[in-house]
């Protein structure tokens, strides 16, 4: 993050940014509640982030906290959704999230959860609303978004890090899940 030194401690900008960070946190909380996360859990997270925001003394700290807010609410929604699934579907999703960079097949996944391939496939589609391929792509894109927050990589490097062999396939899936189109020479850097 390149912030001019005079803005790192400027009271007016820092105060304004704190207020906006709290608003963003509140919007994340509202979205999490709409996604089905229990109200009390969301409010506890929001209270913690508001208290942490008040402690921030410069713009860099506020930006770092905002990244943590977005990650925490996203993870809370993901965990909340996973717990709504049956045990085999939870196991399948957890396996996919742990092995996203590998080649994941229905045969391998069915053996992991102890179900037939056809039953697991229908169960995944029924409970998640997505096919196995879409569940794998979703996990990969979520990991890509996390990598984008913490590193400076090109599209080619990023796609191979999460298990995509072909950049065109990666770009198509990235666009499907984010509504954005990465470009080959683009550097993903948010820090």
70 CB neighbour count, 10 Å cutoff: 15
Candidates 31, 105, 38, 41; CA nearest to 70 is: 31
Mean pLDDT of the chain: 79
Q: How confident is the model at residue 31 (pLDDT cuts 50, 70, 90)?
A: confident
CB atoms within 10 A of CB 68: 12
User: Angle CA(129)–CA(132)–CA(135) in degrees, nearest 5?
Assistant: 70
Distances (CA, A) of 10 to 7, 23, 152, 179: 5, 20, 28, 36
Please count the residues of the chain: 191
Give the pLDDT band of residue 185 (cuts 50, 70, 90).
Answer: very low
Record the tokens describing residue 167, joined without a space. 């950049």
* Contact (CB, 8 A) for 45 and 9: no
**More confident site: 164 or 125:** 125
Tens-digit pLDDT profile for residues 76-111 = 887 776 667 888 998 999 899 889 888 899 999 999
pLDDT at position 178, please?
Answer: 60
Distances (CA, A) of 119 to 114, 125, 136: 10, 10, 18
- For residue 79, the model assigns a pLDDT of 76
* pLDDT value at 182 more than 60: no
pTM of this structure: 0.52
């Amino acid at each position: 993050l390149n912030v001019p030194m005079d803005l790192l401690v400027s009271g007016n900008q820092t105060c304004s940014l704190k207020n906006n960070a709290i608003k963003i946190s509140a919007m994340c909380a509202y979205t999490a509640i709409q996604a089905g996360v229990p109200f009390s859990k969301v409010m506890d997270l929001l209270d913690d982030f508001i208290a942490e925001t008040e402690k921030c003394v410069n713009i860099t700290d506020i930006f770092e906290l905002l990244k943590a807010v977005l990650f925490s609410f996203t993870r809370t929604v993901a965990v909340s959704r996973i717990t709504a699934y049956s045990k085999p579907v939870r196991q399948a999703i957890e396996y996919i999230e742990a092995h996203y960079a590998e080649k994941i097949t229905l045969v391998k996944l069915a053996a992991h959860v102890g179900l037939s391939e056809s039953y697991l496939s229908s169960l995944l589609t029924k409970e998640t609303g997505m096919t196995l391929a879409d569940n794998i792509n979703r996990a990969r894109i979520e990991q890509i978004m996390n990598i984008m927050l913490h590193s400076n990589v090109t599209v080619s490097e990023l796609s191979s890090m999460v298990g995509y062999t072909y950049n065109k396939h990666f770009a198509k899936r990235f666009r499907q899940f984010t509504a954005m189109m990465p470009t080959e020479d683009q550097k993903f850097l948010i820090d």
